[in-house]
Amino acid sequence: MKKKKMKIIPLGGLGEIGKNMMVFEYNGRLLVIDAGLMFPKDELLGIDLILPDFSFLRERADQVEAVLLTHGHEDHVGALPFLLREINVPVYGTRLTLGLVANKLEEHGLAARAELREIKAGKPQNIGPFHCDFISVAHSIPDGVGVAVTTPVGTVVHSGDFKLDPNPIDRRRTDMGKFGELGSKGVLLLLSDSTNAEYEGVTGPEKSVGKTLDDIFSQAPGRIIAASFASHIHRIQQVVDTARRHRRKLTIVGRSMVRNSQIARELGYLKIPDDMLIKLNEVNNFRPSKVVILSSGSQGEPLSALSRMAAGNHKKVKLEPGDTVIISARPVPGNEVSVHRVINRLFKAGVTVKYESVAHVHVSGHAAREELKMLINMAQPKYFMPIHGEYRHLHFHAELARDMGMSSKRIITASNGDVIELSGGGVRIVDRIDVGMTFVDGLEVGDIQDVTLRDRQKLARDGTFIVVAPVRQQDGSVVSRPDITAKGFVYMGNRRKLMKEVSDLVQAILEESAGRGVSDPEQLQEHIHNRLAKFLFKKTKKRPLILALVVEV
């Protein structure tokens, strides 16, 4: 008889932080676990998001049974709208995860045709030929699950993102009893989160941040601006609870923070008393010592509410001495420079800043080494494969399994694109498929060659405008007229007059911005680019590539 086989193909999440996506294949059917994205590093100019390469799924669209989501973080659900544009399949997730996803799909115009199916920890379901048992796990967002996928070949346990918090905010612990029960029945392969595999001991409990927040609130003489991930509902709840104890009113700013807080409140995962909430334009009606502003922007995103405050460019919040800013998050790899830039600007604005390096305002949502050992001990897998992490994280997690006595032959260290085959009680890498990255540039989606080609086509067709504008570092005021250079730009009208109009426009933009107190070079460059692009298209019907450089002197 022909041996039954199951395959696992990681399309993302191995050798990187983000774009987690794993495909299970059995009997000609495919189950996709997670569809995450990754944020670009600074060198990927013009790229907004990075997605997994969907080619493998696109070519087998009629074989895809469903997408199963472990929890609602962007690195696990952010690519879903882009995937569902190409493959229309059911999406399984817990109540909060589907609530966050539904809003995202509505923004992408996909809500009407999306088929969302709710799952619950402890209530197994068959998804095609895959028997899926969902396991409650504690993480930095409520309603996370691990999943045990069983076929006639054997059981594969996927941990999801987890930690062993003994007393989580929502009292929903990682169900180690369930992992132990699965282990006693026989686990062929364990796939386990490697994010914190470098760190000894255990990850601190989420409630430990609450004591630090209480201390900061007690000492803050003025307004408190607290920034966190918009999806970190547990951290948001702790800010809310601390603000309530200190009798402060709460207002929420930032599109993602407002949206996620509203969804979590409606579904019962976030509790904020109605009489505590105020609108942003009501902040000045209260003493500074009675106000908390909950903000997005913990990762230094240039257009986020916190970044605009730090740059002095927020329409309704102007930072003042006496304010305290709490950045209750750790920079995602690649975002360190942006976060540090915001912190520096906050200090320059004269406010008190509390962040992870100087105060215990953040704990991770991922298991450290002792917790990872415990999961391996409970699941008792025949084979082990570290997932979710950069290569060093996978290395240390594999090393941990070896130190526990597992044979190197039973530890699978895989990369994105590897085809892992499970058959006859064994697990091994048997093949490899081509996988890359998909880049999102505004509304355009493609690989890096597509993005580069578009820029080259734009340069060939419409040329480029280079703007160099010197401003004073202290206040952003204009030092001298901006220098305008046009290359490859063909204009049948009065070119000299056009160049003067461009120079006058840039000068006016800088003077208007200085008058509003805007001096941040990035914000100025963005204003120049956007307004100049509109002007040139209206005047010439061309869209040249615009490079704006604001130089502080």
Domain of residue 411, CATH code: 3.60.15.10
Residue among 529, 524, 527 at smallest CA distance from 543 = 529
Structural domain ending residue among the three candidates 303, 333, 354: 354
404 vs 38, higher pLDDT: 404
Q: For the ranges 154-168, 407-421, 490-504, which has the lowest average pLDDT? A: 490-504
Residue 49 CA to residue 469 CA, distance in Å, equals 29
Using CA atoms in the order 250, 350, 311, 103, what is the torsion angle rounded to 10 degrees? -20
- For 98, other C-beta atoms within 10 Å of its C-beta total 23
Same domain, 23 and 128: yes
Mean pLDDT of 226-241: 95
The pLDDT of residue 537 is above 70: yes
Based on the domain organization, do 320 and 376 belong to the same domain?
Answer: no
pLDDT tens-digit map of 61-85: 999 999 999 999 999 999 999 999 9
Mean pLDDT of 259-267: 96
Indicate whether 464 belongs to any domain. Answer: yes
Asked if residue 422 belongs to a domain, the reply is yes
359 domain-assigned: no
Domain assignment present for 237? yes
State the pLDDT at residue 453: 47
Span 454-480, mean pLDDT?
76
Considering the entire predicted model, what is its pTM?
Answer: 0.81
Dump pLDDT digits (tens) for 88-108. 999 999 999 999 999 999 999
User: In b/e form, how buried is each residue of 14-24, taking b as 16+ CB within 10 angstroms?
Assistant: bebbbbbbbbb
Q: Which of 158, 366, 397, 527 is catalytic?
A: 366
Mark whether 291 and 371 lie in a shared domain: no
Same domain, 50 and 171: yes
Same structural domain, 71 and 176:
yes
pLDDT higher than threshold 80 for residue 169: yes
Question: Does the active-site annotation cover 366?
Answer: yes
Phi/psi region, residue 497 (left: phi>0; alpha: psi -120 to 50; beta: rest), is alpha
3-state secondary structure 395-447: HHHHHHHHHCCCCHHHECCCCCCEEEEEECCEEEEEEECCCCEEEEECCEEEC
Q: Residue 457 pLDDT > 60, yes or no? A: no
* 287, 221 Cβ separation under 8 angstroms: no
Among 376, 409, 439, where does a domain finish? Answer: 439
Do 86 and 103 belong to one domain? yes
Residue 308: pLDDT above 70? yes
* Structural domain for 115, as ranges: 5-201+364-439
CB crowding 327-350: b at 16 or more within 10 Å, else e: bbbbbbebbeebbebbbebbeebe
> Which one of 161, 175, 193, 441 is the catalytic residue?
193
Tell me, what's the pLDDT at 446? Answer: 59
The upper half-sphere exposure of residue 215, i.e. CA atoms within 13 Å in the direction of its Cβ, equals 9
Q: How many domains does the chain have?
A: 3
- Which pLDDT score, from 0 to 100, does residue 326 have? 98
> Do the domain assignments include residue 252?
yes
Is residue 184 in some structural domain? yes
The CATH number of the domain where 223 resides is what?
3.40.50.10710
* Helix (H) or strand (E) run with residue 287 in it: none
User: Is the domain of 514 the same as that of 420?
Assistant: no
3-state secondary structure of 341: helix
Is 340 labeled as catalytic in the residue annotation? no
pLDDT in tens, 18-66: 999 999 999 999 999 999 998 876 555 556 788 999 999 999 999 999 9
Residue 11 lies in a domain: yes
- Final residue of a domain: which of 297, 328, 354? 354
Mean pLDDT on 202-227: 96
